[in-house]
Amino acid sequence: MTVLLFSLQLVLGILVPWWILRRDLDRLRPEQLARAWNDVTFWMAIVVFGPLALPFHFTKTRRSLLGLLLGLGWFAAAVLAISLLSLALGWVLGV
């Protein structure tokens, strides 16, 4: 069961940041989109760094303190979501 819970956390650590960044990329203005990562770098950042990629993305695309604050807020939300989902599954599985 521990392996299942660990695997879920690993998958959620990729899926949650991916969803947040995809959602943000769809809403960026053209000049902000030009500063975003290309597809290969996008996936590398998501898979290797997980939620830690969020502050970097928001700061890179917005180039402002607001971008950094947005990134930190989304980072906190992603970590909270991953933690709560993992705790809920652990409770259901009895781990």
Q: What does the pLDDT look like over 28-55, one tens digit per residue? A: 999 999 999 999 999 999 999 999 999 9
Give pTM, 2 decimals: 0.89
- Confidence (pLDDT) at 54: 97
User: DSSP of 6-60, one letter per residue?
Assistant: HHHHHHHHHHHHHHHHHHHHHH--HHHHHHS--HHHHHHHHHHHGGGHHHHHHHH
- Residue ranges of the domains in the chain? 2-93
